[in-house]
Structures are given as C-alpha cells and as structure tokens.
Amino acid sequence: MKKIKNGFIVKSGNTLQKATIYIDGGKIFSVLPGDNSDFSVDEEIDAEGNVIFPGFIDPHVHFDDPGFTDREDFETGTRSAAAGGITTIIDMPCTSIPPVISGKNFDYKLGIVQPKAYVDFAFWGGVTPEQIDSGEYETTLKELKERGIVGVKFYTISGMKLYPRMPVPKMHVAFSYLKKLNLVAAVHSEDFYLVDFYSALMQNANRKDPESWFEGRVYEAEAKAIWSVMGIAEKVGNKLHIVHLSSKAGLEAVKWGKLHGIDITVETCPQYLLFTVEDLKRIGAILKTAPPVRREEDRLALWEGIENGDIDFISTDHAAGKYPEEKSSPDIWKDYAGIPGTQLVVSEILTYGYRSGKLTLENIRNLLSKNAAVRYGLFPEKGSMNIGTDADFTIVNINEEWKVDPLKLESKGKYSPLAGETLKGRVIKTIVRGEVVYDKDKGVLDRKGYGILVRSKQ
Ligand SMILES: [Zn+2]
C-alpha cells in the first residue's frame, strides 16, 4: 500500500479539498479527506500542496512507430507524454508502417511499441477503401475490435499513400459495420475536392508563403466534410467523432448534429485555441498543421464551444516533423504539417483556459481526462478517481510559471509555436498505476516498457 499525501483534489468548479489517496496494487484503494493515516503504507508520494487530477489522457497522437521513427518513436513520444502529465495516449493507426488495418498489424505494432512505452496507451484502428471493395473489412474490424481498439479513423482527405481517403459510399459501408460493433468512427474532416483544387491553384500561382497554406485549405471545407459524414451517421446511426475541429462553421455543424440526435462528439487542439492565421504568417512552418489555424472569430468560437460543453474534449494531434529539415523550407507547401504537442497541452490549457477565467479546474479535469475515457470506453479504469480504478494521477502546481524551451522537449521534434513563451501551471509528478513515471526534479524516470495497452470496453 502507498499513499499520496499533501495534495488537493478538485471537488467542483475551482473548489479544492485536501485529500489523502491510498493506492494498492496500482488501483485506487481509498480517497479520504484531509491528512489521513488510517492505513499503514510502505511508500508516500508527496504532492507538496499541489492539485491532484485524475491522470490526463491525450486521445489523439501520432507516435509514428514502427515506420516513421525518424520523426518520433514510442519511446520519445511516451516520454513527452509522461513529462507533460499525460498518463494515457491513444495512437492513430495511419502514421506507422504497416498501418493498423488488421489484427496481425495490430499485434506487430504492439510487440514493437510496448517495450518502449513510459505511459499507458490505446490504439485507434484503421480500414482502407481496398478492404471495403474486397469485403475484407469485416474480418479486419472484428479482429481489431477483439484487440480493444477505441475506434476507427477515417480521412475525407489524405496525403498518406498507405492510408488513403475514404469516399462517401465506402464510408457508409464501414460506418454500418462499426454500428454493429458499437465502435466510434473518428473523421479528419476537410472536403477533398475543395482543398485539392484550391491548394493546386495556390501552388500553380507559385505561392510559397504560409498564408497560401491557409487559403488553399479552404475554410468551408471543414464544415462541408462534417455535414457529409454527419449525413452518413444520421442514416446509419453509428457513433461519430470529429477530430481536431478548427472552425466556427465546423462547430455550428456539430452543434446541429447534437441537437438532432446524431451520436456525435468533437475534440479540438491547443493550436486552434491559441493561434490564428496572423500567427501562421508570423511564425511560419512551425505552426503548419492540417487543418490550418483559422481566424480570430474561429478561435473565440472554439473557446466558447469548450466553455459551454459543445466541444467534448481536447487532444493534441501530436505529430512531430523532422526538425529543422521538415519545418524550415521557404516553401510552405514542402513543410511537414504537424506539431508535437503532448508535453505542453496541460500547461497550455491551464494558462489560456484556467488563468483567463474561461475554464474551471473541474472543466479541465473533464476536458483532459474524463470525457475521452468515457467516450472511448476506457472508463471506469481511466479518467476518474473512483475506488478500484487505475491509480493514474497528474499532480500540477497551478501557480508555477515556466518558459517553453523546445530543446528541452522529450519529443524528437524540438520545436514549438510557443517557444520562449511563459506558461503558468506546471506538471510536478505523473503517476501511472501507482508508479511515478515523471518527477519535475528528476525528469522522466527510468521506466521504459512500464506502459501497457489499455483496451476499450465499448
Ligand atoms: Zn491526427
């Protein structure tokens, strides 16, 4: 038995309560008010007067392993999660070779990444248009469901050779089968035809400036694609999730879907909450993402969506490009689209959400932990402080200021649009199943291979 002492848990809103948390066998044994010594323990973890959250979850990362490990691998990716206070990550199926489009590929990836993991992880599964045509998709999705994927990722537009976009008729077939399996369909939503045409126009006009990326990835493309996939989900009745929402128009579409009984959830990412196209023009390729950051009115609308619960949770879409070579071309079209975000998200949301008064600590607990755990069926093992669930905690000093130095990030991608910025709120300790995996003073602890696969119970 061990305990976490001298910490405060979030009761509701911004109300804190001093608590002692007992942990037995990696599970929460008891959460008792105040300084408590009811049980004898052989280890004490000192929270030093800080706030203890249920372990934070990043439900959308690309750790590139195996296959694209010159960008990121599971070791550096999960180290950055540990250092950022993330106790569970959910890795996308498409940015590894081979992609996770069969039980065999799932097993292969698991065998490679588990020995490198510092925090717990779950997998997204995948399916390709070819598998729909051949009929192989049923076997694939059944195999992946058995192995515990949280859902299946789709793209309405894709630059990935091994993981192409899914046209509407095939998406209908896949969604119908996911409905049977009771699995979430997550969609990268940007209309292919609009983006393809206007991106080509930009490049044909020899535009290389960052703003041309924003103009080519047409604003309306996001809402248009969301309307399309909602149209399918409405007919099929499956669970739908929109990843990395970037626009006010997209949010309006999702709100309509929620109002009309579609089983839809949506996430957004720090880049869309913190930055606009004006920053993209100033910062350039470092801030290149797909979809791109949008205008100020979009940024404000996303905050509003977060505040009133229309946006369900926050992910990072962590995707590290090789730096500097993939993030410093004078031609924005040649740069890699992605930011390694998992180490910074907690501090970002505390700084720009909590400090600004937009979010309470309770909101942050739900947006960064509980809501994704519930949607993807990790609940009750993750994302709560319920007795008997995994003892995952993130201890945060909500007042400590620190400066972002990209060279000190654990990710292979040593860059950030927040380089040099001061954030308020710092992770002090990250605890996975009762074991400290990160300590502010000691760094990421030597626990390579400690992280294990988390399955969905959908
Ligand atoms: Zn992504």
Q: What is the pLDDT of residue 458?
A: 80
Instruction: Give me the amino acid identity at 9.
Output: I
> How many residues belong to the chain?
458
170 φ, ψ (degrees, to nearest 5): -75, -35
What CA–CA distance (Å, rounded) separates 273 from 257? 22
CA of 353 to the centre of ligand 1 (A): 22
At 379, is the pLDDT very low, low, confident or very high (cuts 50, 70, 90)? Answer: confident
Estimate the crossing angle of helix 137-147 against helix 103-113, to 10 degrees.
Answer: 40
CA of 140 to the centre of ligand 1 (A): 21
At 156, is the pLDDT very low, low, confident or very high (cuts 50, 70, 90)? Answer: very high
H-helix or E-strand containing 447?
Answer: none
pTM of the model: 0.98
CA of 48 to the centre of ligand 1 (A): 36
Cis ω before 291 (30° cut-off from 0): yes
Kindly report which listed range (157-161, 280-284, 425-429) carries the lowest average pLDDT score.
157-161
CA of 96 to the centre of ligand 1 (A): 12
Q: Which residues sit opposite 12 in a β-bridge?
A: 15
CA of 12 to the centre of ligand 1 (A): 32
CA of 442 to the centre of ligand 1 (A): 31
At residue 100, does pLDDT exceed 90?
Answer: yes
Q: What is the pLDDT of residue 381?
A: 87
CA of 338 to the centre of ligand 1 (A): 8
- CB-side neighbour CA atoms (13 Å) of 288: 27
Domain boundaries of the chain, sorted by first residue: 2-46, 55-379
What CA–CA distance (Å, rounded) separates 253 from 249? 6
CA of 315 to the centre of ligand 1 (A): 9
Q: Which CATH architecture has domain 55-379?
A: Alpha-Beta Barrel (3.20)
Q: What is the mean pLDDT of residues 402-419?
A: 98
CA of 97 to the centre of ligand 1 (A): 16
Interacting residues of 381 by C-beta distance below 8 A, sequence separation 6+: 389, 390, 454
Q: What is the mean pLDDT of residues 254-264?
A: 98
CA of 267 to the centre of ligand 1 (A): 11
Q: Per DSSP, which regions of 236-286 are E strands?
A: 239-245, 264-268
H-helix or E-strand containing 213?
Answer: helix 210-216
What CA–CA distance (Å, rounded) separates 164 from 156? 9
At residue 88, does pLDDT exceed 90?
Answer: yes
CA of 290 to the centre of ligand 1 (A): 8
Instruction: Give me the amino acid identity at 456.
Output: S
The answer to whether residues 155 and 123 touch, using CB atoms and an 8 Å cutoff, is: no
At residue 112, does pLDDT exceed 90?
Answer: yes
CA of 110 to the centre of ligand 1 (A): 19
At residue 380, does pLDDT exceed 90?
Answer: no
pLDDT tens for 210-252 read 999 999 999 999 999 999 999 999 999 999 999 999 999 999 9
Give Cα separations from 8 to 51, 273, 371, 395, 433 (angstroms).
5, 28, 21, 9, 19
CA of 92 to the centre of ligand 1 (A): 7
What CA–CA distance (Å, rounded) separates 304 from 137? 39
What CA–CA distance (Å, rounded) separates 262 from 253? 11
Give Cα separations from 436 to 34, 39, 46, 365, 393 (angstroms).
22, 20, 11, 19, 9
pLDDT tens for 333-351 read 999 999 999 999 999 999 9
CA of 151 to the centre of ligand 1 (A): 14
What CA–CA distance (Å, rounded) separates 122 from 114? 11
CA of 188 to the centre of ligand 1 (A): 7
What CA–CA distance (Å, rounded) separates 150 from 303? 26
Q: What is the mean pLDDT of the chain?
A: 97
Q: What is the pLDDT of residue 133?
A: 98
Give Cα separations from 451 to 75, 183, 317, 320, 432 (angstroms).
10, 24, 20, 21, 8
Give Cα separations from 319 to 54, 243, 269, 404 (angstroms).
25, 14, 12, 18
CA of 440 to the centre of ligand 1 (A): 28
